[in-house]
Chain A
Amino acid sequence: MLENFSSPYDATVVRLLTEAGAQIVGKANCDEFGMGSLNTYSIHGPVVNPHQALNSTVPWTERERRSAGGSSGGSAAAVRAGLCDTALGTDTGGSVRLPASYCGVVGLKPSYGLISRWGVVSFADSLDCVGILGKSVSSVERVFGVVSKYDPKDPTAATIETRQKASRACIQSMDLWGCGEGSGPLSGLKIGVPQEYFPAELNDKILTPLRTVLDGLKSRGATIVSVNLPSTPYALSAYYVIASAEASSNLARYDGIQYGLRVDPPPGSDTRKVSTVYSHTRSKGFGPEVQRRILLGSYALSADAFDNYFLQAQKVRSLIRSDFDRVFKISSPLTATLRGDISTAHGPAKTLGVDVLLHPSAIRTAPLLPNPDTTGSKESNDLDAYVQDVLTVPASLAGLPAMSVPAGLGEDGWPVGVSVVGQWGCDEMVMSVGKVVEDVTS
């Protein structure tokens, strides 16, 4: 659809990076419009995961072809292969964290509203975040410092005031680390492990690296507790309804009139209705996954389905948010502002809550890329792909900062990532814990 399109303006993130002296070396492959978890829905073909076992001597062409994850698979692969220091991606439901986990790099999805979306092709506006991928947490942090700026061009950007409020609460809480009960540099840091993040689909061969991380954190003084986020099982369905509904709306603009691909109706075809004229362009220009989601989303917004699907999904979304708010020590500066109740945002931290959550980033290591020769069991493959997002979408629905950090290799020798999730605006805290995870696993 946009193959030959070039934008007449720069995205805010690109402008900020360029102004800070960064060199943009290229554009990376990704799933079409960010829709996909394996980076297989791309006109450029799938991204092959560049990970290779340290002792491997197998030549490139004979190696196992595994997925780099999606949708920002190209960005993760570029970092993993050393083509660049850091890369940007977009994360709507896990599109930065999943590829980071599969490729063995760091991937941050910041708090929603911290990085400007001006210039980001919208998939689902209420979920879309610009994410950062890098070899290390500190490289991600460096880029984050440059691009996390208030931008008046983004109507969903967090205000400077809200940022400061969140940052103060975050620093206050982090200042207590090392001063709590027990000993070690992380005493006072309380980490929650959500029970619901170990679903049946989770491959238990990835659990060893996670245990290593938890042991390491404990040995440095952190407290590990088990927490419940009971609405988690409904998150995936709610996510696909909301994301698809917004996508069906956002992608309505690709009609072959102003820009992008245009397919003229063949001679003799019905041109009485505008929509039938557009359908030629849209049928040709959108790939199968995009078309599937537009249809799903249009249905969810139709008068008959709106209450049962879209509104229901919004209710689940607010349940997910309150699940998180219940377990975190720090109150959300967003809800506090909305209630006009600022005092709770700065008030004494809830003693029972956790600072961050920690869970596996994905249910498995990178899956094999589908063999182009086998066409069977297509449908089950598609469903498998949706399940890849099961652990990443809750943080997206709640707009929370979440970072996948490499935690070593699974039993199959492929990278495993663990995710650190914090309260809204606690991106610094998430990165800080991420550095410890790096330290523990190195």
Chain B
Amino acid sequence: MQVRTTACLFSRFTRYRGAHTLRGHREDPRWPGWAVVVGIEVHAQIKSRQKLFSNMLTPEPSDSPNSLVSPYDAAFPGTLPRLNPKCVELGVRTAIALNAEVQPRSAFDRKHYFYSDLPSGYQITQHYAPIATGGRLPLSNSDTVVRITQIQLEQDTGKSTTDARRRTTTIDLNRAGTGLMEIVSEPDLRSPEEAGDYVRTLQALLRSVGSSDGNMEQGSFRCDVNVSVHRPGSPHGTRCEIKNLNSVKFMMVAITCEVLRQIKLLEGGLSVPQETRGFNEDSAETYALRSKEDAPDYRYMPDPNLPPLLLDKAFVSSISSRMPELPHVTRARLMSRGLSERDADVLMAIDMGREVGYDGVLGQGAVSYFDVVSERRDPKVVVNWITHELLGQLAVRHETFKENTMTTEQLGELIDLVQSGKITGTSGKTILRNILTSRSHVMPSELASELSLFTLPENGDELEKWCLNAIEALPEQAIAARKGNTNVLNRLVGHVMKTSRGRADAKAARSLLQKLLNQPEP
């Protein structure tokens, strides 16, 4: 299983191999004569139930400040870290999803700096030996493949909020010590739009493997971007880093602003000094935070408490075989079952909204809903019912797929009733509407009989009764029919239809009548 997945990934990526170096310069009307280079560092919160090195719960934004803090999280003397294996598993899932190489030996280091939301005075990260290196992420909207330098596991800090008026800073340590994945890209992006595409693709990928919920607004997914400009054909320019961008939109605006600022400097005969910059969302401007000379010395030191993290191939394979399907594998599988690209896209787009639970447990999405219903049913018919009828009706109600109350059993039976001709398509839609409106758990067959929507009474005895009745009522015609007179048989069918008030299936009645007439007389 593992081997096949890898091989599949490989062939997918070889198509793009070297694409980033071969990409020619594409003139951008916003900055003619200039080329833009962007690299992105993403900090994605690991969606683990507990923190990276303590068994305290990972906080939700709604938790009251300092309510989820263990003595370790607050750096009390004598406390020691204990690596949460779930965080390792989710890091490995991410590495596999990014086609990166999980390192057989990685290690943890301390990065030292004094800040009020960092109680121990250092952050544990993987500076010298990251958990995975050398990945690739193909973007969704283009043929571009972005190389991933490395993935590191590290601790998040607490949050400090300064009230300038009251001259006080409040500290919330709930977030202190929760797990982060730092995902570093190579400088392979060439425009703000590509940067946006990269971030959205990465968010979707992390969500699909359940390693992070990738929520930029809530701060569980944060970006630092490195931007430089140069004349096409000449070497890359000096880069500036813009820190803490909290939405894709603002990130793209910040890159655009930074590109224009750097071009203005260069065209004015000045140079771009290497520095770290912030972004003001209100004025749409970046501003200097610190220059290269002011860059702090973090005094990195291997953490003497944490032994090296040893992950062998068997472990990586076992994670790989248990993890959720990767998006491109899902797409290929759906299309191999006969779905159109459009249908597959619709299902997968809805799937993106599924809940990312703790420790890599994903909520049920549209794809798995489809998978369950289409088991032993025609996939094309099932996807039509889901995308047209179910999603259509939910849209009418302004409900999302998450709010759908119709079970896979209900939809499955409904499709069977329509497909077998027991109810008409129109009746099926009526039943679907009824189930959604009343949020009912009654099975469609029950509803059909309640609403007298069966084209045929569900009880087969009824049809036999009507047929015997017709044979009895028209004895001469019955004798003629027994001899093979088909016109006369139609009269008998007509009688059945009359007594059943149109609910009987004519075809079924015809074959049952033939069967009954051909039986030796009692």
A residues near B, CB below 8 A? 2, 5, 7-9, 11, 117-122, 124-126, 152-156, 245-246, 248-249, 252-253, 255, 257-259, 274-275, 278, 298, 301-303, 306, 310
Contacts and interface: CB of A to CB of B under 8 A. Distances in A.
5 contacts: A7-B76, A155-B82, A274-B114, A301-B301, A303-B299
B71 A9 contact: yes
Interface string B102-125: 000000001010111001111000
B375 interface: no
A432 B77 CA distance: 35
The listed residue with most B CB atoms (<10 A of its CB), out of A8, A9, A258, A259, is: A258
B116 A257 contact: yes
A154 B306 CA distance: 9
B78 A255 contact: no
A274 to B, nearest CB: 5
Interface string B65-103: 000000100111111111100000000000000000000
Given A122-B77, A257-B171, A278-B114, 8 more contacts: A9-B71, A118-B80, A124-B304, A155-B83, A252-B120, A255-B114, A258-B76, A301-B300
Q: Which 5 A-B pairs have the closest CB atoms?
A: A252-B121, A126-B304, A301-B299, A125-B304, A253-B75
B22 to A, nearest CB: 37
A118 to B, nearest CB: 6
A298 B116 contact: no
A156 to B, nearest CB: 6
A113 to B, nearest CB: 10
A258 B74 contact: yes
B305 interface: yes
Interface of B: 71, 74-83, 110, 112, 114-116, 119-122, 171, 297, 299-301, 304-307
B304 A253 contact: no
Contacts, number: 90
Contact of B297 (A153, A274, A302, A310): A302
A357 to B, nearest CB: 25
Given A252-B120, A253-B120, A154 B80 contact: yes
B305 A125 contact: yes
Nearest to A276: B114
Contacts of B81: 155
B82 A119 contact: no
B114 A252 contact: yes
Nearest to A33: B77
Interface of B is mostly: loop
Contacts of A8: 71, 76
B340 to A, nearest CB: 53
The listed residue with most A CB atoms (<10 A of its CB), out of B112, B116, B120, B304, is: B304
A175 B179 CA distance: 49
Interface of A is mostly: loop
A156 B301 contact: no
Contact of B301 (A7, A152, A154, A245): A245
Given A249-B110, A253-B119, A257-B119, A153 B80 contact: yes
B85 to A, nearest CB: 12
A153 B304 contact: no
Given A155-B81, A274-B114, A302-B299, A255 B121 contact: yes
B78 A121 contact: yes
B77 A2 contact: yes
Nearest to A251: B121
B122 A249 contact: yes
A357 B74 CA distance: 43
B79 A258 contact: no
Contacts of B110: 249
A122 B297 contact: no
A8 B81 CA distance: 17
A156 B308 CA distance: 11
B123 to A, nearest CB: 11
A7 B114 contact: no
Contacts of A302: 297, 299
A290 to B, nearest CB: 14
The listed residue with most A CB atoms (<10 A of its CB), out of B76, B82, B83, is: B76
A429 B76 CA distance: 36
A278 B116 CA distance: 9
B88 to A, nearest CB: 13
Nearest to A1: B77
Contact of A156 (B78, B120, B305): B305
Given A252-B121, A302-B299, A118 B79 contact: yes
Nearest to A277: B116
A73 B470 CA distance: 112
A35 to B, nearest CB: 14
